[in-house]
Structure formats: C-alpha cells, structure tokens
Structure 1
Amino acid sequence: MANLKITLCEGRVAAADLFNSDPYVAVTVAETRVQSPIEEDTTSLQWNWEYVFENITPDHRVRFHVYDSDTPDPDDDLGYFQTTVARFLNGKEGAKQTIHVGDSTLVVVGTWV
C-alpha cells in the first residue's frame, strides 16, 4: 500500500443557480471522503487544493463528485466520475488530466507519494 496525493487544479462547472454556482468537489478514495473548499458565485474554478489519501492500492476506487452548495437547502448534485486508481493514473501519474463530470470539467493530478 502507498499514499496517493490528489490535486484539484481547476475546473468549469455548470451554472446551478441562474448564472453561477457555489461548487465544491467531494473526492473519495477507498473509504475516505474529503471535500474541497466551496467557491462562491462562480463557474470557473482555480482551486489548487490537495489531499493525501493513505494506504491506497491500485484496485481502490476513486470518485470525484461535484456539488453546488445551497445552504440551508440540500446541495445540488452536478455529477460524478468514478474509476479505479490504476485506471485514473494509467500513464498519467503526476500529469494534469481533464475529467468530465456531468456538464462540468475538472483538471486534476494524481501522484503516488
């Protein structure tokens, strides 16, 4: 087992609140789920947010789930992308890659650390 660093670099999300969204991404690897900061009133994101998941194998699942924050109402589900860590990193470890999540696009980096 090794540690996997996921970096959310940037993205474009669908407007869920008329012209903008308050997006965030929930990233799940294996059984660990973490959430990026919420970016308010935007559809164009510059996160540069990262998290290190511990004790991960290539067979674990990785999931990127995009939401629009709607306090106090339930958050809007803008879609998700899911695959194995092995497929996510296949030939792209340490490189920016674009993934499509519903009508949204995320630029992410995955690296074994």
Structure 2
Amino acid sequence: MNPLGALKITVKRGIDLIVCDTFSSDPYVVITMGRQKLKTRVIKKNCNPEWNDVLTLSVVDPNLPIKLTVFDKDTFTEDDRMGEAVIDIEPYLECLQLGLQDLPIGTAVKKVQPNDHNCLADESKVIWTGKGKMVQEMVLKLQKVERGKIQIQLEWLDLPGGGGLLSS
C-alpha cells in the first residue's frame, strides 16, 4: 500500500519528567505507529530535556494509533518507562482536508481542548503557516506516571507520487 504522506513530528522538550535514577534521568522518546519505531537522542541527567529532534513517520493508514513513550536510558539494566501518551492526529488531518488557501500566516484554524480521547495537557492549536501548510503544537500529559509532559509539533508532508491525504 502506498503511503498517503509523511507526518513530521518535532519532539521539542520534556517538562517535569520523573526522576528514575538517584538524582535525575537520561530521557529519550520512542514514537511508534504500526511497525514503524523512531527514537530521539538521549539527553543525559535532565528531567526537563530539550530535544528538538525531528522524526518522520510514513503514514499508510491515518487511523493507526501513534504512541509516544518516554524512557530513561540505563547502562546495565533495562531502560525504565517514564510514561506514555497517544498522539491524536484526527483534528489536524481534518484541518488539512478543509482545502484552505491564503489565510493570514499564524491563523489558528482549529483549537483542540484536552478530553478523555486525547492526552493533551493544554489547549492545542492547528496553525496556518502559509502555502497550504499547517502545523499543530501540542503538550501531551504522560499517562501511567505521576507527572511529566512532552511538547511536540506535527506537520504533514505530501510525498512526490504518493496517494496524498487530500485525494482520498
């Protein structure tokens, strides 16, 4: 099956992540969608890491869940889980399919509120960046852990010769 496009996920930073080792953690993020698995680099001894790593998923089925998991890198034992979140791309894809043109750059096309179906910590906005492009900034509240958030940004990339999200 041909990919519909690619989803560029910029993993910006972690906020108030839990301490897994004696005083700190060595966090990294793993993003999975179907069989794809992408990783950020490890940031040593930091519970508020700044990654700004760009990970790109090939999207064949936009209904597949995208899972983000934070781990603490350990040298001699299995890496510790520091929480997880599901990235809900449905509101973002809905905005892309509106076929908007020529909005002022920086216009909020949609505001998404935190609810039981997403892991948002705060309101998330889909922002028009011009030339048919939009990004969505989001802060995800990590699940199955006492605290911690991850800030990410989504951007859709059409692939040359790809099926295209908008043509379906």
TM-score tier after normalising by the smaller chain length:
0.7 to 0.9
TM-score (norm 2): 0.61
Does 2:94 correspond to 1:94? no
Q: Is 88-97 or 74-83 further displaced after alignment?
A: 88-97
Alignment root-mean-square deviation, CA:
1.9
| Contact 1:60/1:85 (8 A) holds in 2 | no
1:74 paired residue number: 78
Kept after mapping to 1: 8 A contact 2:92/2:136: no
Alignment of 1:17-96 (within 5 A): 17-86=21-90, 91=110, 92=126, 94-96=135-137
Gaps of 5+ in 2: 95-109, 111-125, 127-133, 158-168
| Residue equivalent to 2:10 | 7
Pair member with larger Rg: 2
Between the two proteins, what is the percent identity of the paired residues?
Answer: 22
Cα distance change on mapping 1:87 and 1:17 into 2, 3 Å: farther
Alignment deviations for residues 26-82 of structure 1 (CA, whole Å, 9 cap, x no partner): 111232011110000111111110111113432121101011111121111111112
Whole-Å separation in 1 of the counterparts to 2:29 and 2:41:
8
- Over 3 Å counting, the alpha-carbon distance change for 1:55 and 1:95 in structure 2 is closer
SS in 2 for 1:59: coil
1:107 — aligned with what? 151
Separation in structure 1 between the aligned mates of residue 12 and residue 46 of structure 2, nearest angstrom: 15
Structure richer in strand, relative to its length: 1
Alpha-carbon spacing, 1:50–1:2, altered in 2? closer, same or farther (3 Å)? same
Query: What TM-score does the superposition give when structure 1 sets the normalisation length?
Result: 0.88
Distance 1:79 1:49, change over 3 A: same
Match of 2:74, SS state, is coil
> Offset at 1:18?
2.3
How many pairs were matched up?
113
